[in-house]
């Protein structure tokens, strides 16, 4: 009656399991398998969520890039507790991650910024992310100005454009199962070691 095959393993390293699921989803998702919801809490205790792209990950952290002057950047500067959420519809799976976020080493951010298309680099200078834009033409004008400024020159990373790494202390795996008896396993980091527990759905 019950399908007890393919349950989420408990005696594994959650980063390895994340990798397995991420690689599998990368083959089946229509687009952006690395899109994740990032939730932050403002200094007034107001939560807010948006999608960012995961650019690298390992035991030390899950890395995304953004503008530190943005709404999320400001929230993070006053409260470094954040959560991430992946939902891979094609696999009927979810991963939740909670942890503490910090700005990564500027050399690593430079390297990633330099690998981006020239237009994206110009865009990073042109966009005052999350600030009021009265007219779309203002953004276009800024783009053209930056393009002109750096004509034939290499474009440096804006000082406010940073990489952020979320160091996980909780990772929960969820997958759809029959009769809505979904499978959940949560891994918590306790004294530098991952401990896992299966949860009721």
Ligand X SMILES: Cc1cc2nc3c(=O)[nH]c(=O)nc-3n(C[C@H](O)[C@H](O)[C@H](O)COP(=O)(O)O)c2cc1C
- The active-site residue, picked from 116, 142, 180, 198, is 180
User: Which residue, chain included where needed, has tokens 């070691």?
Assistant: 193
Say if CB 37 and CB 51 are below 8 A apart: yes
d(Cα 98, Cα 129) in Å, to the nearest integer? 25
Contacting ligand X within 34-53 (CB under 6 A): 35, 48, 50-53
Binding footprint of ligand X, residue count (CB under 6 A): 16
Say if CB 125 and CB 146 are below 8 A apart: yes
d(Cα 38, Cα 51) in Å, to the nearest integer? 6
- Taking the least distance from each CB to ligand X, the nearer of 16 and 119 is 119
Interface region with ligand X, contact rule CB under 6 A, candidates 65-73, 77-85, 135-143, 188-196: 65-73
Per rule CB under 6 A, is residue 72 in the interface with ligand X? yes
Contacting ligand X within 156-185 (CB under 6 A): none
Q: How many CA atoms lie within 13 A of 101 on its CB side?
A: 29
Sequence length of the chain is 201
Respond yes or no: is residue 180 known to be catalytic. Answer: yes
Per rule CB under 6 A, is residue 70 in the interface with ligand X? yes
For residue 40, the minimal CB distance to ligand X (Å) is: 7
Interface with ligand X by CB under 6 A: which residues? 32, 35, 48, 50-53, 64-67, 70-72, 129-130
């Amino acid at each position: 009656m019950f399908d007890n095959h393919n349950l989420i393993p408990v005696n594994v390293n959650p980063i390895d399991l994340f990798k397995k699921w991420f690689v599998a989803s990368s083959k089946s998702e229509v687009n952006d398998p690395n899109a994740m919801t990032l939730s932050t809490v403002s200094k007034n205790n107001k939560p807010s969520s948006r999608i960012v792209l995961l650019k690298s990950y390992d035991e030390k952290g899950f890395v995304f890039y953004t503008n530190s002057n943005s709404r999320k950047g400001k929230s993070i500067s006053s409260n470094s507790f954040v959560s991430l959420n992946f939902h891979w519809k094609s696999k009927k799976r979810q991963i939740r991650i909670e942890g503490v976020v910090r700005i990564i080493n500027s050399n690593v951010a430079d390297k990633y910024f330099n690998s981006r298309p020239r237009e994206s680099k110009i865009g990073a200078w042109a966009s005052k992310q999350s600030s009021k834009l009265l007219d779309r033409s203002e953004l276009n004008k800024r783009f053209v100005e930056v393009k002109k400024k750096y004509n034939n020159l290499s474009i440096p990373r804006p000082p406010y454009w940073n990489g952020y790494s979320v160091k996980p202390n909780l990772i929960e795996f969820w997958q759809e199962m029959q009769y809505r008896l979904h499978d959940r396993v949560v891994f918590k980091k306790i004294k530098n070691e991952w401990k896992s527990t299966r949860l009721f759905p």
